[in-house]
A and B are shown apart, each in its own frame.
Chain A
């Protein structure tokens, strides 16, 4: 480690971001390991005590099978829904996350992968029309395996975000009229009771996601009582 080299200010924020992320992740990982009383299997992602309950959150589902019906953001039966708040005009974070999810699911045995649905909530409903959203998700997942949640009602979106502890903010348009949207980049795994079993921060590897999913599904939900 060369410690005498001056780091220009441009590099510092990146290092700081990495340092914060690493710290947060290790704290999270440790707290995830140490969570007691829940009977949780050891997971790579982050768990909360008490777990986040989102059972009452529902949004219009514009996926081919959804038909715009109000659908709960949670798993079905013995399955899980992986909920993600993002937008399609995002070239870096969102495609990376969805690619990681795709890779995680690809490596799983079919009977387990079948129990997983991916539910993306767009934080940019203006540009992410149902067609755009479905075209985007359809690139990563089969038509039957995803839900595309979209609402033009900013209050409804805010309530859904708040239930998960997520947030988003539409940025100022640039000279072309394009805008970025800041958003929390966690993926939440929700079971059929509406409980968030685990969250993965942005950058969690597909291997870590897969191993968590296999643990959660393999144990029929939660271990013991």
Chain B
């Protein structure tokens, strides 16, 4: 208990100090009244034929918060959704899957032989999630291979140096606007 409180105070203190001045000029740091901060917001450049993009960031909240949604201007993309890339396993259902998109597991192809191939053969997939919890005092990263904000129906390719405005909806902090810097990697 004591440790958590100390950490929360320390983090809150650090965030309070960080929130006052403008630090990172390359990445947008935004703060709301309860201290939820979003840092290192970036998006990957897309190829001309890509219809979807991904935005990544790090979120911290000393009191805890929940990211419930995101939006981008229609000049960027049609829609933004919260997504999670997950390990979906080969044939048997994994416990990280609670949504329906693995759907019908009817065997149309010979997938059972992959079971004998050993470790590392699990498939990766994505699913939309309703929210991303930010536990108090913990830092949650939206990063490649994990959570990300998926941009659907990109209006045009994202190029290096572009800045994409993203509005994030938090349960506690309300709306926070950030700018995602486009990087090649």
* Chain A positions near chain B (C-beta within 8 angstroms): 2-8, 10-11, 13-14, 16-18, 20-21, 24, 27-28, 46, 48, 88-93, 95-96, 99-100, 102-103, 131-132, 135-136, 138-140, 154-155, 157-158, 161-162, 165-169, 171-172, 174, 176, 178, 180-186, 199, 201-203, 206
| Given contact pairs A46-B120, A167-B109, A184-B124, a sample of 14 additional A-B residue pairs in the complex whose CB atoms are under 8 Å apart | A2-B7, A5-B4, A8-B135, A13-B86, A14-B84, A17-B96, A91-B52, A95-B54, A100-B185, A131-B49, A136-B50, A167-B123, A172-B101, A182-B88
Are the CB atoms of B120 and A24 closer together than 8 Å?
Answer: yes
A-B contact pairs, 24 of them (CB 8 A): A5-B135, A11-B140, A17-B87, A20-B87, A28-B119, A91-B148, A92-B85, A93-B85, A131-B49, A132-B49, A135-B47, A136-B50, A155-B109, A162-B113, A166-B114, A167-B90, A171-B103, A172-B104, A176-B153, A182-B123, A183-B125, A184-B121, A186-B121, A206-B185
Flag whether B184 is at the interface (Cβ < 8 A).
yes
- State the Cβ distance, A137 to closest chain B Cβ, in Å: 8
CA–CA, A3 and B137, complex, Å: 12
* Contact residues in A for B111 (Cβ distance below 8 Å): 167, 169
Are the CB atoms of A139 and B47 closer together than 8 Å?
Answer: yes
Do A88 and B50 form a contact, CB below 8 Å, given A14-B147, A166-B121?
Answer: yes
Q: B116's closest neighbor in chain A, by CB?
A: A165
Please tell me which one of the listed residues B48, B119, B133, B144 contacts residue A10 in the complex, with CB atoms under 8 A apart.
B133
CA–CA, A35 and B101, complex, Å: 38
Are the CB atoms of A92 and B148 closer together than 8 Å?
Answer: yes
Are the CB atoms of A99 and B184 closer together than 8 Å?
Answer: yes
* Chain B positions near chain A (C-beta within 8 angstroms): 1, 3-4, 7, 44, 46-54, 83-88, 90, 95-96, 100-104, 108-111, 113-114, 117-129, 131-133, 135-138, 140, 144-148, 150-153, 184-185
CA–CA, A20 and B95, complex, Å: 12
Do A5 and B52 form a contact, CB below 8 Å, given A96-B145, A183-B123?
Answer: no
* Contact residues in A for B123 (Cβ distance below 8 Å): 167-169, 182-185
Are the CB atoms of B120 and A91 closer together than 8 Å?
Answer: no
